[in-house]
Amino acid sequence: MAGTASRAEALIGRGVVSTTSVAGGDICTATRLRLSDGSNAVIKTRPQAPDGFFRREAEGLEWLRAAGGVPVPEVLGVDDECLVLAWVEPGRPTAETAEAFGRSLAATHAAGADSFGGDRDGFIGLAPLPNRPLPSWPEFYASRRVMPYVRAAVDRKALTVEQARTIEQTMRRIHSVAGPEEPPARLHGDLWSGNVVWSTEGTAWVIDPAAHGGHRETDLAMLALFGAPHLQRILDSYAEAAPLADGWEQRVPLHQLHPLLVHAVLFGGSYGSRATAAAQAALSPA
């Protein structure tokens, strides 16, 4: 770990006293750093990371942090092969923390964005994330989120041509199922439960964003996709702080379509079938 410590010291201008490997994460190697001033940090590294990978993550974290809503770790340093963040000590999720998280997430969304999309393309995991803005969320979601991944999934044999046709049909009708128009929200963009850190201080922090301007229901649908602790408390407190448009529950499959397609491209398996089912459910909500 000597090289990792030296890299961190050069980036943040503080000495590293000790390093400890952090379990979890299949994209980057994470190492906890005990610093000479008594504080702790974490450094994420990946040799030959895609161009701009860590810098886009750092920019997304800073953009979310500037909203003053959901807590986001401070970016201490970044370069082409690593990112150093302030350490968040993991704790256990509680109902009270979940309620506070729902309110703070609503505040982050309310900070808004300049457009549906972003200034530059990003990443979701290691996968590319097109962000060139479009005038409305339905246009942006269909053109920048769903259809690029439909094509990639077909190329990788993760979707059949027939399944792709089903999803395309949903995208052609997206304006009729997208719900009322809303201004662009400031989204985390990859808000599954693994990107929420429940701290010992009784606060839920967010990490690893795919930040962009989008529809706030997208973050909520992502929380539900793989299950989050105290999910209903999060949703209830969010809705109290920022009421959701009627029928938002029926639009959850629509918003889950993109992450399911990402998983189909990256992992294959049943995700192509799940994405197709989500597209069908978006057109025929229960």
- Alpha carbons 72 and 60: distance in angstroms, whole number: 10
- Alpha carbons 119 and 215: distance in angstroms, whole number: 17
Q: Which sequence positions are flagged as catalytic?
A: 190
- Alpha carbons 133 and 144: distance in angstroms, whole number: 9
Provide the pairing of β-strand 40-45 with 204-206. Answer: unpaired
Tell me, what amino acid is at 75?
Answer: V
In sequence order, the β-bridge partners of residue 67 are none
Phi-psi region of 167 (alpha: psi -120 to 50; beta: other; left: phi over 0): alpha
In sequence order, the β-bridge partners of residue 75 are 85
CA angle 32, 38, 39 (to 5 degrees): 50
Q: Closest Cα to residue 215, out of 266, 162, 144?
A: 144
- Alpha carbons 140 and 155: distance in angstroms, whole number: 22
Percentages helix, strand, coil for the chain (3-state, rounded to 5) are 45, 20, 35
